[in-house]
Structure 1
Amino acid sequence: MPCRCEDPDYSHIIAGIFDQCMSQTKEIVSFVFGWLSIVSWVVALYPQIRLNFLLRKAEALSPYFLLCWFVGDIFNTTSCFVLDQLFVQKFLGVFWLSTDVILNSSHFYFLLTKKKYTSSATHFRVLEIFIYVVIAGLIINNVVWAGFYYDSELSFNEAAYDICKKEVVIPKNTARYWVGTILAYATIPMFCFSRPTQIYKNWKRKSTEGLSTGLFIATSSGNINQLVSMFVNSQDSKYLIEKTPYIIAAAIPAICDIVVLIQIQIYKGDQQYKKIDESVETL
């Protein structure tokens, strides 16, 4: 349901679709990068889930990586409800937790059953790509048309809509605030420590076979866009000091994600040479 804002120069599109008030250019740009980060995180786990089901094996992922990520998302989702954050944040928390359950379930199922069948056709088929394009097109089309509609409605019939609700602020002297804040900060070491375990496993195996490149492209994109969103929003020293834990929580994983992507390229080359050597030996 769209809402209106008290500031006369507010963005009708953001108020209409997201029920939030934003008027300054830097706020809107920060908001856009924030949503680019969210979109990256929404699709992040799918490439690895898909690859697990195609290969029917899950040796590539570090169990500590999965565990840290899962526990981090539990803390994050719980803090959203404890601090009574916006509906979108609660929904995304539940969504990410659900995808964690699917990925962890597939990982440990294939690890325990040790299926011998592996599919050689892990590339994206034409029909599969077509389905993804249609889904993305429908989502973008709906967002664009909703934006035009709400912009028109709030421009010509603004009085018909209520003032946007402000985010609930929990008093700092309450147990609820401290429990929610501790849970929110507890996600930081979980997300930071998850990547080094995967980097170590890749190095130990000298292989990244079975590891999805798409997973780490999406997570690095999510972290980088989150960093850009925070720095665009404000360069005030007080603001940056307050956001330091969240900057660290995005910067360290982003660096580690890039390291994993480099490992994938290095070990992919080694794997290709290994296959060539094996084929030569069989001649």
Structure 2
Amino acid sequence: MVSLISLITQSDELSVVMGYMSIACWIVVYSPQIYENYILKSGEGLSVMFILLWLGGDLTNLLGAIYAGLLPTMIILAIYYNLCDLVLLFQVYYYRWLRRKRREADGERQPLVELDEPKVVKPLLPSYLLWPLLVSFVLAVGWIAHLMYRSPDVKLPEGPADGGVAFEWKGQVLGYISCVLYLASRVPQLFHNVKTRCVGLSLPMFFFSISGNVTYIASILFKSTEPKYLMTNLSWIAGSGLTVGLDLFIIGQFIYYRLEDRQKAPVFANDEDDEQAVVL
């Protein structure tokens, strides 16, 4: 099976293109959630443990990638992950601090249980424009990487020419720790979504997380399917692949709660009409 994949798909060019498309996906993935937190002035849609475990996974991923001498695109991604994780963590605690300061400024006159009116996040663009634009951005980055790869005047980083990397035990240990942390991070978010019904959580974040992980795996497999290379990258392949499954489950939660809310809306509307009729 591996030899068949190698004959059909092995290509340094495709590896580079997929690697840069993965970077583009991860540039996109954090932006909607950071924007949503900013508009809501809240990070309550995110589980703190989700961010902390994700940050731990990204830190070990970065160190492991450096130790193992993985593709430059992987190292660039790992650095970017960590920066965005820190931004999300800052937002959660900063907006909690702001809320606490507001309560103190009001002289503790607010009730012990505060029921804030949910805010509607106004997107930068309508969804029928935003989604095609984001997807087009990812595809455009891949196309530009393809053109640059074919250009004799541009040299893109491709990693070792033979597709091989050093099987360094420290990097492997860090890689598998990263894999476990990535998988563990989704568990508290799944339970958190049950409480929040995914309110304050960005759907594009998980859609492009899946896309980024799929293209990330593809960039590895297109580079080489040699057993040594696959074994060296196994933790990164497993971490990304299994995380895709959990992210699909989270998207399933989005769909379930949205459909449930839509089914409840007509019922509430009818109840309000009945109440008005009684008053009249």
Q: What TM-score do the two structures reach when normalised by structure 2? A: 0.68
Residues 5-49 of structure 1 deviation map (CA, whole Å, 9 limit, x = unaligned): xxxxxxxxxxxxxxxxxxx96232233223222221222111111
CA contact under 8 A between 1:207 and 1:271: conserved in structure 2?
A: no
SS at 1:71's partner residue?
A: helix
> 1:214 corresponds to which residue?
204
Is 1:224 matched up with 2:220? no
Alignment of 1:178-257 (within 5 A): 178-202=169-193, 204-205=194-195, 207-236=197-226, 239-257=229-247
**Aligned partner of 2:179: which letter?**
I
Separation in 2, partners of 1:85, 1:241: 13
Separation in 2, partners of 1:145, 1:254: 24
The alpha carbon displacement at 1:264 in A equals 0.3
Are the structure 2 counterparts of residues 45 and 165 from structure 1 closer, same or farther at C-alpha, using a change threshold of 3 Å? Answer: closer
> 1:267 corresponds to which residue?
257
The alpha carbon displacement at 1:95 in A equals 2.1
Higher relative contact order (CA 8 A, sep 6+): 2
The alpha carbon displacement at 1:179 in A equals 3.6
The alpha carbon displacement at 1:187 in A equals 0.9
Is 1:41 matched up with 2:41? no
> 2:16 corresponds to which residue?
31
Residues 66-121 of structure 1 deviation map (CA, whole Å, 9 limit, x = unaligned): 11101111222334455566665444332221111111111222244448575424
CA contact under 8 A between 1:56 and 1:118: conserved in structure 2?
A: no
Percent identity over paired residues: 22
CA contact under 8 A between 2:69 and 2:166: conserved in structure 1?
A: no
Alignment of 1:137-148 (within 5 A): 140=140, 144=144, 147=147
CA contact under 8 A between 1:209 and 1:268: conserved in structure 2?
A: no
Separation in 1, partners of 2:86, 2:160: 32
Are the structure 2 counterparts of residues 228 and 147 from structure 1 closer, same or farther at C-alpha, using a change threshold of 3 Å? Answer: closer
Alignment of 1:44-193 (within 5 A): 44-82=29-67, 88-114=73-99, 116=116, 119-125=119-125, 140=140, 144=144, 147=147, 151-153=151-153, 177-193=168-184
Separation in 2, partners of 1:117, 1:252: 36
The alpha carbon displacement at 1:151 in A equals 2.1
Are the structure 2 counterparts of residues 229 and 281 from structure 1 closer, same or farther at C-alpha, using a change threshold of 3 Å? Answer: same
> 1:258 corresponds to which residue?
248
**Aligned partner of 2:49: which letter?**
Y
Are the structure 2 counterparts of residues 249 and 170 from structure 1 closer, same or farther at C-alpha, using a change threshold of 3 Å? Answer: closer
Are the structure 2 counterparts of residues 240 and 73 from structure 1 closer, same or farther at C-alpha, using a change threshold of 3 Å? Answer: closer
The alpha carbon displacement at 1:282 in A equals 4.1
Q: How many equivalent residue pairs?
A: 241
Separation in 2, partners of 1:148, 1:281: 61
Point out where structure 2 has 5 or more consecutive residues left out of the alignment.
1-8, 103-115, 274-280
Are the structure 2 counterparts of residues 166 and 233 from structure 1 closer, same or farther at C-alpha, using a change threshold of 3 Å? Answer: closer
Q: What TM-score do the two structures reach when normalised by structure 1? A: 0.68
Separation in 1, partners of 2:55, 2:246: 18
Are the structure 2 counterparts of residues 185 and 31 from structure 1 closer, same or farther at C-alpha, using a change threshold of 3 Å? Answer: same
SS at 1:196's partner residue?
A: helix
What value does the CA root-mean-square deviation take over the aligned residues? Answer: 3.9
CA contact under 8 A between 2:165 and 2:232: conserved in structure 1?
A: no
Dislocated runs of 4+, deviation >6 Å: 169-172
Point out where structure 1 has 5 or more consecutive residues left out of the alignment.
1-23, 155-160
Separation in 1, partners of 2:90, 2:232: 37
Separation in 2, partners of 1:34, 1:88: 6
The alpha carbon displacement at 1:271 in A equals 2.1
The alpha carbon displacement at 1:251 in A equals 1.7
CA contact under 8 A between 1:56 and 1:117: conserved in structure 2?
A: no
Separation in 2, partners of 1:206, 1:122: 19
The alpha carbon displacement at 1:197 in A equals 2.1
